[in-house]
Structure 1
């Protein structure tokens, strides 16, 4: 972090108001009058104040906290943008406000748009809000981990009974279109003509909600009341972080709606920033040393996400004021725009917390950070109860939180309706700018991801009234248990209870198995000889006929990434599908499975199954994937994967409708990581068809090509596993290794493009290179398979990401906006091409994030 810039000797004064330096803040501000000229004091005057203590009073700045409705009278600098948003709401019932973290979206809407609509007075551009907006009903909420619950709570917060909230949640989950009726009933009760629904931090629907079904129900509910063809008495405004924009791509209707009705928030101009700095001080009769404003403006530059840094630096400079004057020396002591947050956080952590309290604070900050694999880490709202462990009681937690809240690093709140206390960091800028916290997050990121899985699973288990089906099992339980054994003091009480229940369920299952085996032994000992003989005969028949296997519960795969190799079938000359003659199908599937096992042997997280004696002993038969069309094969593979708990299914058929017969090796991927993998018109293939002259005994001449394609599959599987662990660079390397085996595979090119695009958001030094590589990969995928819809959507995501990065400061808008608009048009054209393709599978959508 650099030091604050030195003050200029002849600071340039900001452009004056036409009426001079005196501003009449009429209308919203109750005719308060402030004098900007008298707010700025000379260096000579400051010199005489340097040794004087600060005067008492309330701070004019909020630091990391966003402006709320009650702060509207001191919210300056966004008047014209507020007017633009309000005017857009006259002609649309849906609007998406999009901007970088720290661009001021929440403050703009909470302290700008909402108060302007409620007051109904003339706006900054001399226009008026909608005529009846003061009579509207207003609701604002954040999606959190359960967006349907949060939506219901926002609409139901003034209801008398919690039962009505439960009923509303059930109604929305069962039929998202019931939202229209719920809103109309609420408006009738309140006597209001329209609902204005604001959804702040809309990205939480992606970063915190891990249930795809609940996320889709939430989106469907919103879309049902925003349909332009169906006029509803509701206006919806969402606030979305720009780095989550591409996540909309897999939700077609929502993506199109946002694309058509959006407002990107760029950096504030110097004049707007001058107002945001000087006018709140002038309103409270605070003074600012001449030159300080210019130094701050130079330090902040044109970065759209730097507003919380500036706001915190202002608050810390005010804390170091001389009498009523904020000085350059105080600004330097605070650390300037770039260093104030880190300096404050580090000072609080090292100086205000005791040695015993620091580990607790560390635990709190880690719990309040949501780890993201395809975007920047975000803040996370956690219930207070989640912070309590067996080693740390609520009073100790309260003492630490009080210090963090007083320093404005953390905020607390209550979930409505009810009295559930919540905690969250004041702003995501703290996560970005405090090196100590960044270091904590990177020290054991894999462990933190496991811990977050445990946290989410425990919460879901409690929400499901301790349903045994929600407990951990198999390898997942083993991984989390190993981590928990090494970090026992980090587990909350609920997490400990959930983990103990999972272990107890496993112990009970093992005990039942032992009792069953012991019972068999006892029966053999105590029965009469004749009975023993009879039983022996029956038992022998039981095993010889395979009845023991038939009565056994079929096993399921328990690896982190499971690959099932189906038996390869045969398509006869009439187009009928069946078993290959002789050992042809079994032989090919054996080659594939053995090659996969040899390639993946170094990684214990991957499991490969193929039909054989070992699976028969576990009452498992993989069988074949049926179907002649991509849609039929995808449906059959999906059913097979669900039965086995597989994430990848490898399959194929020997097609004898042409001579020589042809073998095509394909694979299917289960929906995972918030994406649904769409099968292209030609399926997911790893190479060309292979000629087979003897279908009953495929010759060794095709084995090298089968091995090559199987190696491709192995590296694809490895890449997907790395994705699951958040190892994006390693995933990209694996997909590039797959490309060496299958340079002409559209699917492999797609995976390379997607991972390159993911990495471009986090690897800023190589951002443009990675973006170019992503575009090239998607274009190559399209060239290889023009019917591959996901590749078009991936290409569109590249253009949208590039357009977002080109959105310029308002005072430098023309060229940057021209380029950004051109890229957006290219993105929309790519999406239109994708939509024009025939749907070939219910597993449709896009895995491009």
Structure 2
């Protein structure tokens, strides 16, 4: 058993409670000595295991794994418990400090974050040079490559700093009805200089816009910028896996073929700047060992930037004084599980009702792919809040926003980053469980919004196949509770039209046999009359009347012969 451990007061906080749980695990394993545990783990000393259960500080995740393995515990369960404590400690530290974070986590850089945007000087320079040669430019990059941040925190500030007069810089995303929503933005501003249209998340033109007329009209408005006298410049941010979609429009394909810029992964030197630069801007220091570890883990990964930024944010929350340390990074869960742990920690603090609301909110923000990856789906607060208790939904939105899982921008709710779709196992499982229902729901939402845009025509038609699918997927009270008022009204209107059509068809089915019967009766009567005419010709009425028939000629009477 070894020497007696110092008592731990559970009232001292979450670290003390966690330490007591570790001691209980060791007791249930037969109370092996720390020396025995160290011989089992080999990588850690008895003193390291003793400190892990002392209750003075939270052990690192690798130490926890070794401790739990030596005691025969469940590593997944203990990792979740550790993540909850780690996140609670980080939240307390963040709440007690007014110092702004130098890293944005999963959130993208905005124009106002340009003082923290490092590592992309070369790419910004190349993009500006390309816009000098072409009026319509496309920036292609994989999800997580940093193309949105490049446009917003890299390009926009440089455009505003140029000596050349700029009439306006407009930053927009297409949405579901791009032409209707941005018709005015496609026109040059009434001021000296050119107007710049920065269209981020251009793939929404294919994932959210279902109206071919809207899509083609919006494209035509963008392509009009190619004319020298248009006074417009267009820069598009497009996810690389949607490049084939862009080729379906011949004129657009020819344009981007001549003026495209790929967003390549950062070099090792650029990664070093992206890691150290924001910390230096906030008078912080990044431990060399941490910098080297992060570079090794992220270099060459095309979608590694959101993971890097989030890991740095969580490491900053666990900093030691003014220094970001490798130990703090490991306590945050390292690159392997930092996003999932942060998401799980936020989810674990919710009560059952909030957890279910979180599931519905997160799924509303997803467009499931059909022969394409799943994508984010920005939507309105109005849509989100109309599916349940408004107060509870707003509470959940606030929790998710503070955990950096979603962003709230005015009336728009969006995933903080598409990396969440694959990095958070729980969310990925929700999508897989509801994939078919999600696809149907996305169709329903788009169709209902289109129906509302034309004045809610009461005669709207929904195909019998679709109605059957809707009945199959949205029949229980829980399922119906996921629908917005607009979606429910759309289904009700479609069902009413279907019932009216059925009544017409049933009436037709009843009338047709009656008419057929009357036709048969009439035919039989006609046949009978015709037969009677053939049998009694003198009784048959003349088909038409003549003067001779009315006034027959006088007949000669035979002279009677009398006998003499």
Q: TM-score, normalised by structure 2?
A: 0.72
1:516 offset after TM fit, Å? 5.6
Alignment-derived partner of residue 208 in structure 1: 208
The residue correspondences of 1:725-764 to structure 2 (distance < 5 A) are none
Partner Cα distance (2:116, 2:414) in 1 = 24
The secondary structure found in structure 1 opposite 2:174 is coil
Q: Name the larger-Rg structure.
A: 2
2:500 is the alignment partner of 1:508: yes
The residue correspondences of 1:788-827 to structure 2 (distance < 5 A) are none
Alignment-derived partner of residue 393 in structure 2: 397
Match of 1:466 among 456, 475, 485: 456
1:386 offset after TM fit, Å? 2.2
Partner Cα distance (1:75, 1:540) in 2 = 95
Query: Kindly tell me: are residues 484 and 53 of structure 1, through their superposed partners in 2, closer, same or farther at Cα, counting changes over 3 Å?
Result: closer
1:136 offset after TM fit, Å? 3.0
Alignment-derived partner of residue 286 in structure 1: 284
The secondary structure found in structure 2 opposite 1:239 is strand
Residue by residue over 1:183-207, the C-alpha shift from the partner in whole angstroms, topping out at 9 and shown as x without a partner, is 3xxx33xx22211111101111111
The 8 Å contact of residues 389 and 492 in structure 1, kept in 2 or not, is answered as yes
Alignment-derived partner of residue 115 in structure 1: 157
Q: Report which of the two has the higher share of helix.
A: 2
The secondary structure found in structure 2 opposite 1:263 is strand
The 8 Å contact of residues 194 and 233 in structure 1, kept in 2 or not, is answered as yes
Query: Kindly tell me: are residues 348 and 471 of structure 1, through their superposed partners in 2, closer, same or farther at Cα, counting changes over 3 Å?
Result: farther
1:363 offset after TM fit, Å? 0.9
The 8 Å contact of residues 199 and 238 in structure 1, kept in 2 or not, is answered as yes
The secondary structure found in structure 1 opposite 2:171 is strand
The secondary structure found in structure 1 opposite 2:474 is helix
Higher relative contact order (CA 8 A, sep 6+): 2
Gaps of 5+ in 2: 1-42, 44-89, 527-564
The 8 Å contact of residues 461 and 498 in structure 2, kept in 1 or not, is answered as no
2:426 is the alignment partner of 1:436: yes
Query: Kindly tell me: are residues 338 and 518 of structure 1, through their superposed partners in 2, closer, same or farther at Cα, counting changes over 3 Å?
Result: same
The 8 Å contact of residues 308 and 429 in structure 1, kept in 2 or not, is answered as yes
1:467 offset after TM fit, Å? 2.3
Alignment-derived partner of residue 454 in structure 1: 444
Alignment-derived partner of residue 88 in structure 1: 130
1:322 offset after TM fit, Å? 2.3
Partner Cα distance (1:378, 1:540) in 2 = 72
The residue correspondences of 1:823-834 to structure 2 (distance < 5 A) are none
Partner Cα distance (1:470, 1:299) in 2 = 54
1:226 offset after TM fit, Å? 1.7
Match of 1:139 among 165, 170, 183: 170
Partner Cα distance (2:399, 2:524) in 1 = 71
1:522 offset after TM fit, Å? 9.7
The 8 Å contact of residues 142 and 150 in structure 1, kept in 2 or not, is answered as no
Match of 2:253 among 255, 261, 267: 255
Alignment-derived partner of residue 496 in structure 1: 488
Alignment-derived partner of residue 349 in structure 1: 347
The 8 Å contact of residues 78 and 112 in structure 1, kept in 2 or not, is answered as yes
Alignment-derived partner of residue 537 in structure 1: 522
The residue correspondences of 1:15-414 to structure 2 (distance < 5 A) are 56=97, 57-120=99-162, 131-133=163-165, 135-152=166-183, 155=185, 182-183=187-188, 187-188=189-190, 191-227=191-227, 230-350=228-348, 352-388=349-385, 392-414=388-410
Partner Cα distance (2:289, 2:401) in 1 = 32
The 8 Å contact of residues 459 and 493 in structure 2, kept in 1 or not, is answered as no
The 8 Å contact of residues 406 and 415 in structure 2, kept in 1 or not, is answered as yes
Alignment-derived partner of residue 69 in structure 2: none
1:370 offset after TM fit, Å? 1.1
The residue correspondences of 1:715-726 to structure 2 (distance < 5 A) are none
The secondary structure found in structure 2 opposite 1:353 is coil
Q: How many residues align?
A: 433
The secondary structure found in structure 2 opposite 1:89 is helix
2:420 is the alignment partner of 1:423: no
Residue by residue over 1:436-457, the C-alpha shift from the partner in whole angstroms, topping out at 9 and shown as x without a partner, is 1111111131121112111111
The residue correspondences of 1:556-705 to structure 2 (distance < 5 A) are none
Residue by residue over 1:208-242, the C-alpha shift from the partner in whole angstroms, topping out at 9 and shown as x without a partner, is 11122221221122122224xx5421111001111
Partner Cα distance (2:159, 2:169) in 1 = 10
Partner Cα distance (1:488, 1:113) in 2 = 45
Residue by residue over 1:466-522, the C-alpha shift from the partner in whole angstroms, topping out at 9 and shown as x without a partner, is 124643122121112211114223222211111111111112222344456667899
Alignment-derived partner of residue 645 in structure 1: none
Partner Cα distance (1:70, 1:389) in 2 = 32
Query: Kindly tell me: are residues 310 and 372 of structure 1, through their superposed partners in 2, closer, same or farther at Cα, counting changes over 3 Å?
Result: same
The secondary structure found in structure 2 opposite 1:386 is helix
1:76 offset after TM fit, Å? 1.1
Query: Kindly tell me: are residues 107 and 510 of structure 1, through their superposed partners in 2, closer, same or farther at Cα, counting changes over 3 Å?
Result: same
Query: Kindly tell me: are residues 367 and 538 of structure 1, through their superposed partners in 2, closer, same or farther at Cα, counting changes over 3 Å?
Result: farther
Residue by residue over 1:536-567, the C-alpha shift from the partner in whole angstroms, topping out at 9 and shown as x without a partner, is 539999xxxxxxxxxxxxxxxxxxxxxxxxxx
The secondary structure found in structure 1 opposite 2:133 is coil
Partner Cα distance (1:276, 1:485) in 2 = 51
The 8 Å contact of residues 224 and 230 in structure 2, kept in 1 or not, is answered as no
Query: Kindly tell me: are residues 286 and 497 of structure 1, through their superposed partners in 2, closer, same or farther at Cα, counting changes over 3 Å?
Result: same
Partner Cα distance (2:182, 2:268) in 1 = 38
Alignment-derived partner of residue 470 in structure 2: 480
